[in-house]
A and B are shown apart, each in its own frame.
Chain A
Amino acid sequence: MIYFKNVSKIYPPDVVAVKDVHLKIEPGEMVSIVGQSGAGKTTLVKLLIAEERPSKGRIQIGDWDITNIKVSEIPILRRQIGVIFQDFKLLPKKTIFENVAFALEVCGAPDSRIKKIVPQILEIVGLEKKMHRYPDEISGGEQQRVVIARSLVHAPKIVIADEPSGNLDAINTDEIVSIFKKINELGTTVLLVTHNREMVNALRRRVVTIDRGSVSNDQAEGNFIRQ
């Protein structure tokens, strides 16, 4: 369970990015967080992966209160949350296999585990045949799938995708949505932070609307609501 309890984030001197957000997301849920640019969606993601600390309120993941998480505990938290950013953050000099393996390598995983897990994950996202190519040798949609694969290598309990369809056309967006559905069906909590109306409406899952830092709407099975 992800629990934001009256969370606010104020940047000095007085810029309110998130204001009194009260939000509960149950394990295994798939939730779209929508809102205009600057509404505070990405700040929520940053608070969840401890890149930012809340100014007020509490954040809890399961029984773990991460409001004042220690710096040494942040890596442990991030291994439990797979994050997918719009700008992919793929390393251009590494192959697809190496990019995915990198996430395991830097956490000290043995080579035998890396060789076993990475092909399995790449198979889930349909890239097992392109694992030796470099990022600039595959399409934008395929690059996004590599990022998804990378976020899954630690078998996270939560996957957060910040604008996952930002650089993709409609066909690729459909493919990505189906992958997220697949991930969610395996029991992983999925948070989609997006602008993409079609994507949200096609999912027919819970939609949380953020407006000027606050939750303005929370529908159990909703559509993208224009602000």
Chain B
Amino acid sequence: MTRPKVISFANKSFWRNLGLSLTTILILVLTLISFNVVLSVNAMTKAALQLVEGRIDISLLFKVDAPIAKIDELRAALGKIPKVTSLIFKSRDDVLTDFKTKHAKDQEILSALSELPENPLGAILIVRAASSQDYEVILSAIDIPEYNSLIEQKTFEDHATIIKKIGAMTNRMQKGAVAISVLLLIIAFLIIFNVIKVAIYTHREEISVMRLVGASNWFIRAPFLIEVILFNFLAVILSAILLYGFLQFGDNYVKSFFVGSGFSLMGYFNGNFVRIFVGEFLALSVLGVMSGSLAMRKYLKV
């Protein structure tokens, strides 16, 4: 019987201090928007890294005189490495055809090529792996003199530098995101703490009468906590509405940047909807109950 009364008291308090309630919700919405921006940037950085990683491979350029039997032996050895996801072999003739197609409009190059007595290009083996870290393992597996004597050039080194740079940037951004999130949580904690203090001040006469007539501590405190949970709920709903409103327009720009990878912010938030929004609500509520209890401990001594 007490529970509906407590909810009714929380509801009355919300409407009676409508200005304070709306200001609190607005600040919480701004905090949540900032948090969602941090999440978006984090997701985009990860997607960018995956995109770059997806385009990375090792190209082994074989010497012109490398025996085909040895190359086949190397292909078989690479095929046995579990981290290798695909092997594309281009014979010397294929490489020459590709080269001619690529430079079809450049007569100077084509005529220079035709003057050579034989095909100057070696075969190519393109090796792909699931993750950028796997390439180091693959490279070390084939780093033996027997195979090195066949290979003119390995083209992974340039990509490795890019991957390391993006990886370092992602790490820094993730650390930054954690720091900003902690800062936002502290702000939310202080907002709720002050809101409850103001609410208690506004209700000081009622609280004094409540104590006098024997209301339980739970009954005095619960409406404030329920009010905070209501603020959090409305703030999460509003921030989600604003976020999706923005994504209706802004997501096209994100999609065009990640064209080919299929990444979109809308997809990211849809895929993690429960985790993000329920998580935000629960985190704010736990924080609200903690800061609220702290604020009330000082002001609601029996």
Contacts and interface: CB of A to CB of B under 8 A. Distances in A.
Interface of A: 49-50, 71-72, 74-79, 83, 85, 89, 91, 102-103, 105-110, 150-151, 153-154
19 contacts: A72-B216, A72-B217, A74-B214, A75-B214, A75-B216, A79-B214, A83-B212, A89-B205, A89-B208, A89-B212, A91-B206, A91-B209, A102-B209, A103-B213, A103-B214, A106-B220, A107-B215, A109-B1, A110-B1
A110 B5 CA distance: 9
Contacts of B209: 89, 91, 102-103, 106
Contacts of A154: 213-214
Contact of A74 (B205, B219, B302): B302
A106 B217 CA distance: 10
Contacts of B214: 74-79, 103, 107, 154
Nearest to A49: B212
A34 B222 CA distance: 40
Interface of B: 1-2, 5, 205-206, 208-217, 219-220, 302
Q: Is the interface of B mostly helix, strand, loop or mixed?
A: helix
B219 A106 contact: yes
Contact of B217 (A75, A77, A89, A150): A75
B255 to A, nearest CB: 54
Contacts of A78: 211-214
A49 B302 CA distance: 11
Contacts of A83: 212
B213 A106 contact: yes
Contacts of A102: 206, 209, 213
Contacts of B302: 50, 71, 74
Nearest to A78: B214
Contacts of A103: 209, 213-214
A74 B5 CA distance: 20
Nearest to A92: B205
A105 B217 contact: no
Point out which of B5, B214, B215 has the most chain A C-beta atoms below 10 A from its C-beta.
Answer: B214
Contacts of A79: 213-214
A107 B217 CA distance: 10
A150 B206 CA distance: 13
B222 to A, nearest CB: 11
A153 B212 CA distance: 13
A105 B5 CA distance: 7
Contacts of B211: 78
A31 B286 CA distance: 50
Nearest to A69: B302
Nearest to A76: B214
Contacts of A72: 216-217
Contacts of A150: 213
Given A71-B217, A74-B302, A108 B1 contact: yes
Nearest to A94: B206
B79 to A, nearest CB: 73
A108 B7 CA distance: 12
Contacts of A50: 302
A85 B291 CA distance: 33
A51 B213 CA distance: 12
Contacts of A74: 214, 302
